[in-house]
Amino acid sequence: MNQPLSTNNNAHYVVFDHMLEGVQVVDFEYRYLYLNKVVVEQAKSSLEELLHQKMTEKFPGIDQSPMFSLLKQCMEERSPQTLLNEFDHLDGSKGYFELRMQPVPEGVLILSIDETQRITALKLMEESNIRYRCVADASFDAIWDWDLIKDTATFGDSFRSIFGYNDEKIVNFSSKWLDMVHPDDQAEIAYKIQCVTLASEKKWLLEYRFKKANGDYAYIVDRGTALKDEYGKTIRIIGAKQDITEQKRSEQQKAVLAAISPIFSQHAQLKSALNAVLGKLIIYFDDFQLAEIWLCDNQAKSIKLISKDSHFPNSEEFYEKTRLQTSFQLGEGLPGEVWRTKETIVWQNVETHDAFLRKEFASIIGLKSVMGLPLIFQDTVIGVLVLGTSKQVTYQDSYSSFYKGLAELLGSEIQRKQIEQELAEIFNAAPDIICLAGFDGYFKKINPKMCELLGYTEEELLSHPSSYFTHPDDLKVTTRETVDFSNTTSSQNFENRYYTKDGRIIWLSWAIKLDLDSGLIYCVAKDITEKKDLEDLLKVANQLAQNGGWEINVLDNNKVYYSKTTRDILEMDDDVVPTLEMGMSFYPDEENRSRVEKVVQKAIEDGTPWDEELQIVTAKGNHKWVRGIGRAEFRNGTCARLLGSFQDITVRKNTELELKKLNETLEERALKLQQSNEELEQFAYVASHDLQEPLRMVTSFLSLLERKYESQLDEKAKQYIHFAVDGAKRMRQIILDLLEFSRVGRIREELDHVNINTLVETIVSLYREKIEDLNASIVFENLPTIESYETPVYQLLQNLISNSLKYHSVNEPPRVDISVVEQETDWLFNVKDNGIGIDPNYHAKIFQLFQRLHTKDEYTGSGIGLSLCKKIIDDLKGKIWVESEEGKGCTFYFTLPKQ
């Protein structure tokens, strides 16, 4: 490019050739006289093209430009001029040049400094600033611009509206910006800023928590670009912050919800699952320091605190103090109220909130506000999630769908867990076998009852095929039922025998269901060993009792079935097939047959069961008695089956008949006896009554004889007459006594209130003289009034008292004690004396008629008194007996029924 200066025709211009600025000299006709290489380059042309050419010709229209008018001014007025010239190159591009024009003798020397780069940059910057401002104002992102030279940050409108800051500008930004970052994120961000400001990095993309003007933190994505100067130093950082709090929260919420379900699967117990869930929730809800789960009980009567977690200080003290407030009724406290309303409820300032039943303890942990969320399953509140905080709870709409989702999820998971736990309890505590088996014949899951019943451990039962435990004789039925793939809709039932580990055999009754999809057989089995044993026992007992069974299947053509015992009773051969006609042929007797037909007909008509004793003639022609019991079974209103039992009662029946005959004979005899007794009584009455008259005659004639012939009768004769009179008198007494005796029971008087006290008093007054003579005492006190017949009771007591006075001891004055004891159904009378007593050998004899233990010379009497007592007592349905020893007095007892 080093053009020889000679081409410029002027030797002193050589000095300009090496200048860094462009130099050109134009003559008065605006012809290029000189151009150094810089100006040629600036003009994007060549020396040959321009030298000696007229400027106005080379660049047509230039004479209209401001530059040319200045040049003209300089040319003509010979005054220097300066100008920043915008120059249109021939190729259409633009150049910016600072032109300094100096008059020289040849014309004008123009010094041109190329400012194209600087001006273009400036223009670009200006444009970008305009663009930035438009973007900043129009964008939803918060645009910020940090001029590191001035250390000033400017913020766009969006920035201020999103984050709530008022200032458009913040000076000394380098010392302030870090405070706007969440403490946990500061380190990372500070490092990144350093990388961008000090090192070569130009761009960043960061996610962190940014502090808003109100102190809350927003999750943001921050994109930034650093502008560097020519030395690579960052002079400006422009960035855009995007608020992603919503998106972040919804991601976190999704993550929280997603983390909850597995917790329920990981924990076997509901309570520990809930503890873990609360642990997770309280971390997520960092605004809340307390979380509780309350669950409604099964009867939906109360709601109870089941699980809690708290990050409050003094939580232990709080829960200790509120330990009695862990169960509420519907509508009681926050959980009860949420349960009642089915709504989310927020209570502020709980320490003064009357409905918050734990209010007086809220200050222990600094609890200010609580929120209760209903946990819902199928439209029913099953529990309540309570969240507590030391601040005001603001129930943000952005959370409401999350709360709803959380409540629904917890509701269904808790419900599922409860059912799972209940099922597990049933499985573990079931009194019967519950198990799962595979089509490969192995058990897959068994409950503890199965181990207990069979005596094997779980491993042992799972490691052998089921056939290993099955009785060989039952393998066939077992296999047939368990591989019946044709039936997968209903359950199948069968019985088989299993061996226990200690070699016993137990009977199991199975109900199984095949599930082709899962390849599993669901099984339930009951131990029916005892029932089977009882069945066997019944079979034996039936055989022993000659009790057979029978059945007529009405729906199946009246098919008849007889059990073995029935066949034995009917003396049928085993190979004979019974029919209805054959059954009736066992009743050849017309009466029996029509009875059978009648009861069967009635049973078929209205289900009346029957129980009949019938005479049959067996297949071998033997006569037997049977007891036939039967009933009808109905299906859809019609008789489907008749069934019953058949018992051989021949022996019993024959005995019964014999007994009946015997009874009849006895009854006949008793009747005869009664008749003869009555006749005897009649005779005694007639005899004693009729005998009195001749006896009176004997006595009176004897007295007449004595009076009339007194002077003619010697002493002997008189003595004889006296004996005769005396005999007649005694005979009269005997006849009177007998008369009385025969009267007992014949004249029935009215039942009356009999005052025993009055009765005894009357007897005492009757015997007053005798009592005084003997110096006797009759002792009685508070004797009752009883329901009875006065005359016979009077006769009883009179006889006993008079005997006690008569048979008194010679050693001491007689004493008679009379007392009555009330018993449950009777009155027990007790007449006790201190007389001569009776030898126990004669205790029975004295109650018989005319039986005496003494002669008439020792004691007078007829031997009728006590038999009269006995007869009265028998008549009144009581009892009489004596307790005594000779010389020790007697005690006569008798009872009278109260009713």
Q: Which residues bind ligand ADP (CB under 6 A)?
A: 803-804, 807, 833, 835-838, 846, 852-854, 861-867, 890
By C-beta, is 642 or 796 nearer to ligand ADP? 796
Cβ burial, residue 812 (10 Å; 0-12/13-18/19+): exposed
Shortest Å, Cβ 866 to ligand ADP: 3
Shortest Å, Cβ 863 to ligand ADP: 4
By C-beta, is 314 or 802 nearer to ligand ADP? 802
Shortest Å, Cβ 850 to ligand ADP: 8
DSSP code, position 750: -
By C-beta, is 235 or 739 nearer to ligand ADP? 739
Starting at the edge strand found earlier in the chain, the sheet holding 880-884 runs 777-780, 815-822, 826-833, 890-897, 880-884
Q: Residue 790: CB partners within 8 Å, gap ≥ 6? A: 749, 752, 754, 759
Buried b / exposed e across 86-102, counting CB within 10 Å, b at 16+?
A: ebeeeeeeebbbbbbbe
Q: In terms of DSSP bridges, do strands 547-553 and 623-635 run parallel, antiparallel, or are they unpaired?
A: unpaired
By C-beta, is 237 or 836 nearer to ligand ADP? 836
Buried b / exposed e across 595-623, counting CB within 10 Å, b at 16+?
A: bbeebbeebeeeeeebeeebbbbbeeeee
Shortest Å, Cβ 717 to ligand ADP: 31
Shortest Å, Cβ 800 to ligand ADP: 7
By C-beta, is 95 or 865 nearer to ligand ADP? 865
By C-beta, is 291 or 846 nearer to ligand ADP? 846
Shortest Å, Cβ 785 to ligand ADP: 26
By C-beta, is 792 or 837 nearer to ligand ADP? 837
Shortest Å, Cβ 612 to ligand ADP: 58
Shortest Å, Cβ 699 to ligand ADP: 21
By C-beta, is 136 or 890 nearer to ligand ADP? 890
Shortest Å, Cβ 826 to ligand ADP: 22
Shortest Å, Cβ 852 to ligand ADP: 3
Please provide the DSSP assignment of 577-635 as one string: PP-HHHHHHT--SHHHHHHHHHHHHHHHHH---EEEEEEEE-TTS-EEEEEEEEEEEEE
The whole-angstrom separation of Cα 733 and Cα 14 is 205
Shortest Å, Cβ 836 to ligand ADP: 5
Shortest Å, Cβ 839 to ligand ADP: 9
Shortest Å, Cβ 833 to ligand ADP: 5
Shortest Å, Cβ 875 to ligand ADP: 17
Q: In terms of DSSP bridges, do strands 777-780 and 815-822 run parallel, antiparallel, or are they unpaired?
A: parallel
Nearest residue to 278 via CA among 301, 247, 311? 311
Q: Phi and psi dihedrals of 437, rounded to 5?
A: -125, 155
- The residue written with tokens 């299993």 in the block is 498
Q: Is the dihedral of CA 253, 257, 262, 268 positive or negative?
A: positive
By C-beta, is 458 or 817 nearer to ligand ADP? 817
By C-beta, is 162 or 838 nearer to ligand ADP? 838
Element (H, E) at 136: helix 116-138
By C-beta, is 373 or 864 nearer to ligand ADP? 864
Structure tokens, 869: 């007592």
Q: In whole angstroms, what separates CA 629 from the centre of its chain?
A: 45
- The residue written with tokens 């709504």 in the block is 343
Nearest residue to 392 via CA among 313, 291, 287? 287
By C-beta, is 142 or 890 nearer to ligand ADP? 890
Share of the chain residues as helix, strand and coil, in percent rounded to the nearest 5: 45, 30, 30
By C-beta, is 118 or 854 nearer to ligand ADP? 854
Helix (H, G, I), strand (E, B) or coil at 441: coil
The whole-angstrom separation of Cα 786 and Cα 793 is 10
By C-beta, is 466 or 804 nearer to ligand ADP? 804
- The Cβ of residue 321 has, within 10 Å, a number of other Cβ atoms equal to 14
Shortest Å, Cβ 722 to ligand ADP: 22
Starting at the edge strand found earlier in the chain, the sheet holding 94-104 runs 32-35, 22-27, 107-114, 94-104, 81-88
Shortest Å, Cβ 844 to ligand ADP: 11
By C-beta, is 706 or 817 nearer to ligand ADP? 817
Q: Residue 281: CB partners within 8 Å, gap ≥ 6? A: 256, 291, 309, 385, 387, 406
Q: Is the dihedral of CA 755, 760, 762, 763 positive or negative?
A: positive
The whole-angstrom separation of Cα 84 and Cα 104 is 21
By C-beta, is 309 or 833 nearer to ligand ADP? 833
By C-beta, is 367 or 866 nearer to ligand ADP? 866
Shortest Å, Cβ 811 to ligand ADP: 14
Residues forming beta bridges with residue 223, ordered by sequence position: 205, 240
- The residue written with tokens 């079931």 in the block is 430
Nearest residue to 40 via CA among 24, 59, 61, 58? 24
Structure tokens, 465: 């095929």
By C-beta, is 94 or 856 nearer to ligand ADP? 856
In 683-780, at which residue ranges do the beta strands (DSSP E only) sit?
A: 752-755, 777-780
- The residue written with tokens 């009356």 in the block is 752
Helix (H, G, I), strand (E, B) or coil at 99: strand
Q: Which residue is nearest to ligand ADP (CB)?
A: 861
Shortest Å, Cβ 890 to ligand ADP: 5
